[in-house]
Amino acid sequence: MIERVTCNNKGSDKDWNVSVRWRLQGLHEGIGIYGQPSGKPIEIFGINQLKIVNGQLLEEWFTYDGLEVLKQIYLDSDDENNNQ
């Protein structure tokens, strides 16, 4: 789900800096960087930054909190409540 898009014009109609804030929700079902599937629900929030020059995507960066994903997979909800 895309939560917000911000576009900043950089002087020309074809030059933009764009920021996209997004959220994914699903189940941890696949093998990947977070280990064996747990079947637990996860929610990931992230941000993409895009640099558009002359109407073309020149650069893109993205970030999300991987530690928060690990917590959702490997900590029981009781453990998380006790740590707050």
pLDDT of residue 83: 63
CATH T-level topology, domain 2-82: Nuclear Transport Factor 2; Chain: A, (3.10.450)
The whole-model pTM stands at 0.77
Residues 24-71 have pLDDT tens digits of: 999 999 888 999 999 999 999 999 999 999 999 999 999 999 999 999
pLDDT of residue 76: 83
In whole angstroms, give the CA distance from residue 20 to residue 46.
8
Parse the chain into domains and list their residue ranges: 2-82
Whether pLDDT at 7 is above 80: yes
Cα 83-33-63 angle, rounded to 5 deg: 75
Whether pLDDT at 84 is above 70: no
Q: Which residues contact 69 (CB under 8 A, 6 or more apart)?
A: 34, 42, 44
